């Protein structure tokens, strides 16, 4: 389904009556604050990339031994970037902010700011730990991803119950359709953690990466982008 363009989704002034007849503010300040948080978080990731200890002539080998840190940085950089893309796409469909939705947005930001922690843990576990450490690190990262998906489930659920917050041209069906995305995330991130713990930490991490890619290709919505073109068909779902 192709969603109609959302007009005035990022206005900073006061919009018309919505959500129980109250005048609610636009989304401009929320978007600016959120963008600032994402920028800080994605920058903090690089602080964990440090020059390794090495003996003269051993720098190349020492750098290679730090590959888990580079991989964890790359995965988390993409993950936070994908969260930002999803957040940016969502706010093209939101025209007004209520106190409840502001708290939910803070929840999304909370989920983002904790990502650097499991990033450094998983890098350390794969570089210096044993298999048990790797299993625990993958479960920790999967748990952080589950928390992030839960905040998106709350966001779409809230918008589905408060369509007055949606921007002009966006229907209540938009939010209901998007619920499948965080539900899928919760289920498959949980599966990633189980696979990482019970079978193989590397396999669990691979499943996490696959789920990040899923959220990347659906960032514009479940029925937009590459996946949307596969799911969409004449007479298909409509908002």
- Asked whether the CA dihedral 208, 129, 120, 139 is positive or negative, the reply is positive
CA distance 107 to 119: 19
Average the pLDDT over 92-103 and give the result.
94
Q: Which two tokens stand for residue 149?
A: 């998906």
Q: Is it the case that residue 13 has pLDDT exceeding 50? A: no
In this predicted structure, the answer to whether residue 60 has a pLDDT above a threshold of 90 is: no
Q: Region of 20 please: left (phi>0), alpha (psi -120 to 50) or beta.
A: left
Q: Flag whether pLDDT at 6 surpasses 80.
A: no
Looking at residue 172, what is its pLDDT? 78
Strands 22-25 and 14-18, sheet pairing: antiparallel
The alpha carbons of the chain give a radius of gyration, in whole angstroms, of: 20
| pTM, 2 dp | 0.81
Does position 50 have pLDDT exceeding 70, yes or no? yes
In what helix (H) or strand (E) does residue 210 lie, and over which residues does it extend? helix 201-217
Range 26-53 average pLDDT: 89
CB 177 within 8 A of CB 109: no
- Give strand pairing partners of 17: 23
Confidence of residue 224 (pLDDT cuts 50, 70, 90): low
Over the stretch 164-216, which tens digit does the pLDDT of each residue have? 999 988 887 888 889 999 999 999 999 999 999 999 999 999 999 999 999 99
What are 105-131's pLDDT values in tens digits? 999 999 999 999 999 999 999 988 899
Q: In the beta sheet, which residues pair with residue 125?
A: none
């Amino acid at each position: 389904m192709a969603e109609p363009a959302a007009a005035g989704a990022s206005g900073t002034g006061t919009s018309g009556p919505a959500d129980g007849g109250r005048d609610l503010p636009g989304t401009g300040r929320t978007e600016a604050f959120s963008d600032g948080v994402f920028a800080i978080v994605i920058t903090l990731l690089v602080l964990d990339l440090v020059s390794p200890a090495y003996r003269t002539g051993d720098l190349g080998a020492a750098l290679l031994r730090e590959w888990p840190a580079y991989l964890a940085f790359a995965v988390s950089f993409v993950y936070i970037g994908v969260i930002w893309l999803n957040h940016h796409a969502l706010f093209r469909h939101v025209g007004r902010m209520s106190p409840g939705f502001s708290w939910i947005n803070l929840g999304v930001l909370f989920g983002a700011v904790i990502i650097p922690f499991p990033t450094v843990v998983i890098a350390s576990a794969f570089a210096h730990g044993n298999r048990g450490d790797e299993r625990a690190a993958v479960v920790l990262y999967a748990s952080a991803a589950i928390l992030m998906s839960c905040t998106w489930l709350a966001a779409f659920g809230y918008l589905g119950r408060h369509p007055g917050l949606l921007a002009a041209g966006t229907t209540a069906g938009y939010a209901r359709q998007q619920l499948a995305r965080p539900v899928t995330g919760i289920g498959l991130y949980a599966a990633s953690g189980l696979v990482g713990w019970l079978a193989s930490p590397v396999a669990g991490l691979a499943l996490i990466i696959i789920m990040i890619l899923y959220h990347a290709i659906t960032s514009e919505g479940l029925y937009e982008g590459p996946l949307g073109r596969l799911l969409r068909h004449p007479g298909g779902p409509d908002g």
